[in-house]
C-alpha cells in the first residue's frame, strides 16, 4: 500500500522553521524537510538528535592507528630488522608519520562510507524527493498522512497560518 503525504512549500527559511516548530508543537510527525541550502536552527526545530557519525570516525581512526603501529613494529623488529647506525629496532618516532597518515585515511574513508550507507546513497538507489520544485529553490515540509490518526483540515490550516505558499497531497513513496 502506497503512503500519502501532505507537502507544503515555503518561500523563505524563516517561515519553514516557524512552520516546523508549529507542526511539532501541535503533535504532528514530520516525515522530512527539504531545503535547497542549509537552514540554521532547522535541526533543533525538527528535534533531530546529534549524529553518531563522529563515533565511527573515532573508532576507525583508533583501529587504523593501532594496526599501523603494530604492523610497523612487527616489520621493523621481527620480520626485517636492520641495524642502521646502531639505533634500536623499535624506533617509535619513525613510525609516527605513517601511522598518522593511515589514521586520517581510514577515518575519512570510514566516515564517508558510513554516511553513504546510512543515508541510502548507494549506486542504483532511487532518489526520494517530494517533487521537482523542492530541488530548485523552495523549502518544503512533508507530513505522512494517515487517515485514522491525522486531521488533514487542521494540518492544512496550520500550514497556511505558518506561511505556506502551496499545499498538496501526493500518494507514493518519497
> pLDDT by residue for the chain (174 residues), tens digit each?
567 788 899 988 999 999 999 999 988 888 889 888 899 999 999 988 889 999 999 999 999 999 999 999 998 888 877 777 777 767 788 889 999 999 999 999 999 999 999 988 888 887 766 666 666 778 999 888 776 666 778 888 888 888 888 888 877 666
pLDDT for residue 133: 64
pLDDT for residue 15: 92
pLDDT for residue 126: 78
pLDDT for residue 59: 98
What is the architecture, at CATH level 2, of domain 4-50+132-171?
2-Layer Sandwich (3.30)
What values do phi and psi take at 81, rounded to 5? -75, 130
What cell does 129 get? 524527493
pLDDT for residue 70: 95
What cell does 41 get? 536552527
> What letter would DSSP give residue 133?
G
Domain boundaries, the chain: 4-50+132-171, 53-119
- How far apart CA 63 and CA 44 sit, in angstroms, is 33
Torsional class of 169: left (φ above 0), alpha (ψ -120 to 50), beta (otherwise): beta
pLDDT for residue 102: 98
Continuous segment of H or E residues that includes residue 33: strand 30-34
pTM greater than the 0.75 cutoff: no
Alpha-carbon separation of residue 167 from 59, 141, 144, 152, 162 (angstroms): 44, 10, 13, 11, 12
- How far apart CA 169 and CA 142 sit, in angstroms, is 9
Amino acid at each position: 500500500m502506497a503512503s500519502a503525504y501532505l507537502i507544503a512549500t515555503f518561500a523563505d527559511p524563516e517561515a519553514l522553521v516557524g512552520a516546523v516548530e508549529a507542526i511539532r508543537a501541535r503533535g504532528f510527525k514530520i516525515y522530512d524537510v527539504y531545503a535547497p541550502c542549509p537552514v540554521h536552527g532547522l535541526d533543533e526545530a525538527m528535534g533531530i538528535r546529534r549524529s553518531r557519525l563522529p563515533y565511527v570516525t573515532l573508532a576507525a581512526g583508533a583501529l587504523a592507528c593501532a594496526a599501523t603501529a603494530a604492523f610497523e613494529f612487527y616489520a621493523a623488529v621481527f620480520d626485517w630488522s636492520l641495524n642502521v647506525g646502531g639505533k634500536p629496532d623499535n624506533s617509535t618516532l619513525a613510525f609516527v608519520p605513517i601511522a598518522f597518515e593511515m589514521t586520517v585515511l581510514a577515518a575519512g574513508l570510514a566516515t564517508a562510507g558510513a554516511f553513504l550507507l546510512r543515508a541510502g546513497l548507494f549506486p542504483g538507489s532511487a532518489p526520494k524527493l517530494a517533487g521537482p520544485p523542492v530541488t530548485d529553490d523552495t523549502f518544503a515540509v512533508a507530513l505522512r498522512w494517515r487517515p485514522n490518526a491525522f486531521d488533514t483540515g487542521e494540518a492544512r490550516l496550520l500550514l497556511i497560518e505558518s506561511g505556506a505558499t502551496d499545499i498538496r497531497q501526493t500518494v507514493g513513496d518519497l
